[in-house]
Amino acid sequence: MISASRAADLKQVAKELAAARTSGVLMDDLGGTLRVLSMAEAYYVHREMVQREGPDSGAGYLGPVGGWKVGAPTADATPAFAPMPLRWINRSATKPGEMAVIERHRYRAVEAEIAFYVGVSLPPRGTNYSREEIVAAMASCHPAIELLEAAFPDPDAVEKFSQVADLQSNGGFVPGPKVDGWQQIDFAKEGVQVIVDGAVEVERVASNSAGTDLLRLVEWLVNVGSVGYGGVKAGDWITTGSWTGKTQCALGAVVEVRFSTAGSVKMKFASA
């Protein structure tokens, strides 16, 4: 339980993180009473940074939720998640051959991921949703690029819960075309490449740190993580963790993520 006085501190954290993200005036770290001390406190900050439904709606400094990132450090670990602001979700790269152009990014780190598009809302209820119900609610599966940004010059140099509170460094999301027959993909054999300006920078197989049962992450998000937001909603994206770690790119770089079975997605960072 977070006390009223502590909640006031965390609301200020949310305000300052959101301001750093939108203004580009970065913070060294969070300190003093603004230091985030736990996952529970980091999740509280998340809810204040984005708009949500209900009588205890957050301030919504970054606007409404458009999706979710969920992952885990190992195949057995409890997942962690963060909301993805709708304003940072690119919806143009949805057809073969199309390329999203990302206009404003400072950190310019990318990760290769597999994402799901929610077709049917799954609000909280008394019993958990089964895997079968969750799969049925997913309208489609997509290759994706998550863009990493931060309120800090180097997110790896700050305290753990500072980075987590900062929406786990989410700064954008680019989905590729939907993958037909995704339910038959054996993700334990799936390969992936990150290609930057025509050169393969990363090449791996079955390399998601959370393991290759991606639906485990989606189940946890639906039944646990998103409950405080009213659940996942039709039109949300769910991206399920990095297969490649982060790759930092130069201004003007063209980035392609290419999965062996699950398709590809391409984007470009603007040159200025």
216 contacts: CB under 8 Å, gap ≥ 6:
79, 210
For residues 44 and 17, give the distance between their C-alpha atoms in angstroms, rounded to a whole number.
Answer: 13
**pLDDT value at 190 more than 80:** yes
Which pTM value belongs to this model?
0.95
Task: Answer whether residue 23 shows pLDDT above 90.
Answer: yes
What share of the chain in percent tops pLDDT 90? 89
Give per-residue pLDDT as tens, 100-110: 888 878 999 99
Residue range 114-153, pLDDT digits in tens: 999 999 999 999 999 999 999 999 999 999 999 999 999 9
Q: What is the pLDDT of residue 51?
A: 83
How large is the C-alpha radius of gyration of the chain? 18
Calculate what percentage of the chain has a pLDDT beyond 70: 95
Confidence at residue 55, expressed as pLDDT on a 0 to 100 scale: 53
Domains recognised in the chain with CATH numbers = 63-269 (3.90.850.10)
Q: What is the mean pLDDT of residues 190-218?
A: 98
**Contacting residues for 97 by C-beta, under 8 A, at least 6 apart:** none
